[in-house]
Amino acid sequence: MEKAMTKEAILVFAHGARDPAWAEPLERICALVRQRRPEVRVELAFLELMQPLIGEALDRMAGAGFARITIVPAFMAPGGHIRKDLPELVAAARVRHPGLEVRVTAAIGQSEGVISAIADFAISALAAS
């Protein structure tokens, strides 16, 4: 008997801003993930000020049959939005979609690779000046 495949998705989660250009680097991150993992659905969602809001994105993904969603917070550190707002929004989505598996990673700024890349960027700025 063949095992059923679980549709997986990544949801990059950011704060949002009034200026649409603010989201451009995040859209580029999503595009790179899609390029590297074309079998995984990748979306960008926001806490406020931009669309889609995270609750709407989770609803849409669950409605499209995605049973496992990994949220990647595009924040430098785990402040109130990660510690309070995000868990509340995820809990509400789980109530609306029983059986939905949602995993939340650390904030991207907690990644040693990201920290190292930023340090490299800062050092390269010395050479450019």
Just list the catalytic residues.
Answer: 15
Sign of CA dihedral 60, 94, 4, 37: positive
| Residue owning tokens 């990660």 | 82
Nearest in space to 26 (alpha carbons), one of 50, 61, 2: 50
How many other C-beta atoms lie within 10 A of the C-beta of residue 55? 15
Pairing of strands 41-46, 101-104: unpaired
Q: Rounded to whole angstroms, how far apart are CA atoms 101 and 8?
A: 10
